[in-house]
Amino acid sequence: MTVPVRFERAFPVTPADIDDLGHVNNVVYVRWVQDVAAAHWEAATTAAERAGVGWVVLRHEIDYKHPARAGDEVVVCTWVGPPAAATFERHTEIVRAADRRVLARARSVWCPINPQTGRVQRIDPALHDRFYSA
């Protein structure tokens, strides 16, 4: 049985991330979800592989548990789920670095496209398997 390889990246909470209620704006969480997904893809693939596949988001679902605030640093961890036809599920967990408290969890559905044609394309299973460990 294989398990998904987890990838994480730390992000500081900047003053620009804070909304009128004094906590991180919801849009920032979406940015973190997308940024860590892109960093995971870049870390696990070659430049040639990245040139041959583009990704579009079909859906983001985010459950907000606790607020992040100015001065916090968050750790964003992501991993892929199983592919289904021409879509890929990706999971993300956002925790506060200082106490590892879960701030949010996300599930996203991504679709691979051919960058030249803009059409949906299938991913080589060997490429997908690189995101799993035995």
Answer yes or no: are the C-beta atoms of 125 and 2 closer than 8 Å.
Answer: no
pLDDT, residue 130, reads 85
Q: Which pTM does this prediction carry?
A: 0.93
Q: Could you count the other beta carbons within 10 Å of the beta carbon of residue 103? A: 22
DSSP assignment of 13-56:
PPGGGB-TTSSB-HHHHHHHHHHHHHHHHHHHS-HHHHHT-EEE
The owner of tokens 């996300």 is 106
pLDDT, residue 71, reads 95
pLDDT bracket for residue 93 (50, 70, 90): very high
Judge residue 40's burial from the number of C-beta atoms within 10 Å of its C-beta, 0-12 exposed, 13-18 middle, 19 or more buried: buried
The closest of 100, 76, 79, 99 to 90, measured between CA atoms, is 79
The closest of 44, 52, 34 to 5, measured between CA atoms, is 44
Chain-wide mean pLDDT for the chain?
94
> Over the stretch 18-67, which tens digit does the pLDDT of each residue have?
999 999 999 999 999 999 999 999 999 999 999 999 999 999 999 999 99
CATH top class, domain 3-133? alpha beta
The closest of 88, 89, 56, 62 to 76, measured between CA atoms, is 62
pLDDT, residue 95, reads 98
The owner of tokens 């408290």 is 101
Q: 1 pLDDT exceeds 70? A: no
